[in-house]
Amino acid sequence: MQISSRFTIGTHVLIMIALQGEKTKVTSDFLAGSVGVNPVIIRKTLSQLKKAGLIHVARGTGGAELAKAADEISLLDIYQAVECLGSTGQLFGFHEHPNPACPIGNSIHDVLDGKLEEIQLAMEKEMAQISLEQVVKEAKMKMEVAS
């Protein structure tokens, strides 16, 4: 199973806004060029980030800026803003109808549910400890080395 690219796109977008926002107008077309996706995907991502209170988007002239300081935004905030975990809020989906007549099917939820919840909580705990500011600083260092 693979987590969708929404999280990495959202993080890429926020790094771009943090690093380029004061120098240039950060539009969906500008971001799409960096991310390498259609501007429609960027606009959806921007909408999700805005709804989560992570960015402000200017109407008309366009452009996005951070709504909070980069050290106040965690990777978990980004993940929760853009990933669609559904009504359960669970990272791991479960097949809906295991066979109750099968000894494995009958007990699969008992065997896996708690473990999957622990895995998700551990991932979220790690994500909460990494700020956007940290990844922005690392991106900036990589850019300086490359130039």
Look at residue 86 in the predicted model and tell me its pLDDT. 63
Spell out the residues 6+ positions from residue 28 whose beta carbon is closer than 8 angstroms to its own: 39, 42, 43, 46, 62
Task: List CB contacts of 106: < 8 A, sequence separation 6 or more.
Answer: 98, 99, 100
Look over the chain and give the mean of its residue pLDDT values, rounded to a whole number.
Answer: 90
Can you give the pLDDT at residue 74? 98
Q: pLDDT tens for residues 42-81?
A: 999 999 999 999 999 987 767 899 999 999 999 999 999 9
Q: Would the pLDDT of 90 be above 80?
A: no
- Residue 59's pLDDT is 77
Q: How many Å apart are CA 43 and CA 117, to the nearest integer? A: 32
| Domain parsing of the chain, residue ranges | 6-146
User: How many Cα atoms are found within 13 Å in the side-chain-facing hemisphere of 2?
Assistant: 4
Q: Between 9 and 86, name the one with better pLDDT.
A: 9
pLDDT at 1 over 50: no
CATH of 6-146, one of 1.10.3720.10, 1.10.10.10, 3.40.50.150, 2.60.120.10: 1.10.10.10
